[in-house]
Amino acid sequence: MQYQKSPLIFPDYANLGVNDIWIKIQNYNNYEWDDLIHLLKYTTLHVAHVIQNVDRSKLQHQWISALNERITLEEMIVDYPRHFKLHYDEIVDLIAQ
């Protein structure tokens, strides 16, 4: 969103009902647990690094979701902890089963 023309239209897997297909294609059920934990850890560290280095002049660049909602880069950054917790809670639920 920092270097593309705003608004950016990008595939939105979650709102198109294909989230389960994406998970199946990536075969997370057969992923080595330790590797998955490292992936989550280093992906999160990378996202934090990217956020720290965002060009503040680009914070109002927009993404148009599959639901035709306009979401700014700033809104995405602010929402990231909530979004991360959503995935974290899903993992906790799976472990509890």
Per residue in 1-27, pLDDT tens? 777 778 877 766 676 777 777 778 888
Question: Domains in the chain: how many in total?
Answer: 1
SS3 string, 37-86, reads HHHHHHHHHHHHHHHHCCCHHHCCCEEECCCCCEEEHHHHHHHHHHHHHH
Q: Does the residue 12 lie in any domain?
A: yes
Average pLDDT over residues 44-52: 96
In the predicted model, is pLDDT for residue 67 greater than 90? Answer: no
In a domain, 2, yes or no: no
What is the rounded distance in angstroms from the CA atom of residue 46 to the CA atom of residue 52? 10
Q: pTM of the full predicted structure?
A: 0.75
In a domain, 25, yes or no: yes
Higher pLDDT, 17 or 96: 96
pLDDT, position 26: 82
At residue 58 the predicted structure's pLDDT band, cuts being 50, 70 and 90, is very high
Task: Give the residue numbers spanning the domain of 83.
Answer: 8-96
- What pLDDT is attached to residue 55? 96
Q: Is residue 1 part of a domain?
A: no
